A = this chain, B = another copy of it.
Amino acid sequence: MIIKPDFNDIIASYGRIKRYIHHTPVFTSQKLNDLFSAKLYFKCENFQKVGAFKTRGALNAILQLSPEQLINGVATHSSGNFAQALAYSANILGTNATVIMPNSAPKVKVDAVRSYGAEIIFCEPTLQAREKTLEQFINSSGAEFIHPYNDYNVIAGQGTTALEFLIDYPDLDIIIAPIGGGGLISGTAIATKGSNPKIKIIAAEPKGADDAFRSKKAGYIIPSVNPKTIADGLLTSLGDKTFPIVNTLVDDIFTVQDESIITAMKLIFSRMKLLVEPSAAVPLAAILEYQNIFIEKKVGIILSGGNIDLDKLSKFFS
């Protein structure tokens, strides 16, 4: 089958967005390498603009809109990092962003999106309410809808994380990234297999939101029903554009317990002095749970973001 987007789309995306984003650093830790008997390379997207890789995809999507399309602004539904990323990107291009958010969204997220100048429309916290509210808004405003992950341009943008990673560290054995809706892992898989098909791609998923694991096993999409995990960026299910990529190019999906995610966060905090959100610790949690797979390997880990609610830290570390 033909995978969309392709490797060239990711390279083109990188050229398009790179002046607006950080070339994020890669960190290592001797202590963690000793602990896992592996060489771990952490791509720090927590240092990316708005604190997460999502800026790459949002920018890549917006930058491909025509001036006519930009006139009425852009819109998305998200209560997470993509909302901030779209708000930031719209601001750069001088257009408006509107975000449909459940009225249950935490104040810290709402404030963050507003701080980048976006409008927020609240809806009841159900899928139906969200879709109805979005449809009404798009119809009345003429804004361009950009899906947080089930969008070829967004996927290609997220793929620039791995492209940049491989420019700096071309000889990794494995790249591991978290999986939620599948935008990051899809872009990662395309970029990686395109530059070196020998590198293994592993997706790390919370057990409490394991739709990707079950979908890949079944060969068709099985969405999560009432997913539950502390990795709140990974509650979404695969879409019809990300599923075929995950199904074809991702070598393995490892599911992890929330306890492992907390242990992994503690290791990243205490050993690396990096602040990451729970979703970003899911790959290291997978390395904890499946340690044998990674022994003696050079493992690239995507630290996807650092937007954690500081008030919640006590919940994880007490």
Q: List residues of A whose CB falls within 8 A of some B CB.
A: 25, 27, 44, 46-47, 51, 266, 269-270, 273-276, 306, 310-311, 313-314, 317-318
Partner of A275 from B25, B269, B311 at Cβ < 8 Å: B269
Whether A273 contacts B25 in the complex (CB less than 8 A), given A313-B317, A314-B314, comes out as no
Q: What CA separation (Å) do A314 and B38 show in the bound complex?
A: 32
Residues from chain B with a CB closer than 8 A to the CB of A46 are: 273
Contact between B311 and A273 (Cβ–Cβ < 8 Å)? no
Residues from chain B with a CB closer than 8 A to the CB of A313 are: 313-314, 317
Contact between A273 and B306 (Cβ–Cβ < 8 Å)? yes
Residues from chain B with a CB closer than 8 A to the CB of A276 are: 273
In the A-B complex, the 7 residue pairs with the smallest Cβ-Cβ separation, listed nearest first, are A314-B314, A273-B306, A310-B317, A273-B275, A46-B273, A313-B313, A269-B275
Beta-carbon nearest neighbor of A31 in chain B: B115
Q: What CA separation (Å) do A46 and B25 show in the bound complex?
A: 16
- The distance from the CB of A38 to the nearest CB of chain B, in whole angstroms, is 20
- The distance from the CB of A186 to the nearest CB of chain B, in whole angstroms, is 25
Whether A311 contacts B318 in the complex (CB less than 8 A), given A275-B274, A275-B275, comes out as yes
Contact between B317 and A311 (Cβ–Cβ < 8 Å)? yes
Q: What CA separation (Å) do A313 and B25 show in the bound complex?
A: 26
Residues from chain B with a CB closer than 8 A to the CB of A25 are: 25
Contact between A273 and B270 (Cβ–Cβ < 8 Å)? no
Beta-carbon nearest neighbor of A108 in chain B: B270
- The distance from the CB of A131 to the nearest CB of chain B, in whole angstroms, is 32
Contact between A266 and B310 (Cβ–Cβ < 8 Å)? yes
Given contacts A44-B273, A47-B273, A270-B310, 7 further A-B contacts (CB under 8 A): A269-B275, A269-B310, A273-B276, A274-B275, A311-B318, A313-B317, A314-B318
Residues from chain B with a CB closer than 8 A to the CB of A306 are: 273
Q: What CA separation (Å) do A197 and B269 show in the bound complex?
A: 37
- The distance from the CB of A301 to the nearest CB of chain B, in whole angstroms, is 16
- The distance from the CB of A203 to the nearest CB of chain B, in whole angstroms, is 23
Residues from chain B with a CB closer than 8 A to the CB of A266 are: 310
Q: What CA separation (Å) do A306 and B27 show in the bound complex?
A: 15
Q: What CA separation (Å) do A314 and B313 show in the bound complex?
A: 6
Partner of A274 from B270, B274, B310, B314 at Cβ < 8 Å: B274
Beta-carbon nearest neighbor of A314 in chain B: B314
Residues from chain B with a CB closer than 8 A to the CB of A51 are: 273
Residues from chain B with a CB closer than 8 A to the CB of A310 are: 266, 269-270, 317
A273, A274, A314 — most chain B CB neighbours (10 Å): A273
Q: What CA separation (Å) do A51 and B269 show in the bound complex?
A: 11
Beta-carbon nearest neighbor of A315 in chain B: B314
Q: What CA separation (Å) do A274 and B46 show in the bound complex?
A: 9
Residues from chain B with a CB closer than 8 A to the CB of A47 are: 27, 273
Beta-carbon nearest neighbor of A269 in chain B: B275
Q: What CA separation (Å) do A44 and B310 show in the bound complex?
A: 21
Beta-carbon nearest neighbor of A45 in chain B: B273
Partner of A314 from B270, B273, B317 at Cβ < 8 Å: B317
- The distance from the CB of A40 to the nearest CB of chain B, in whole angstroms, is 15
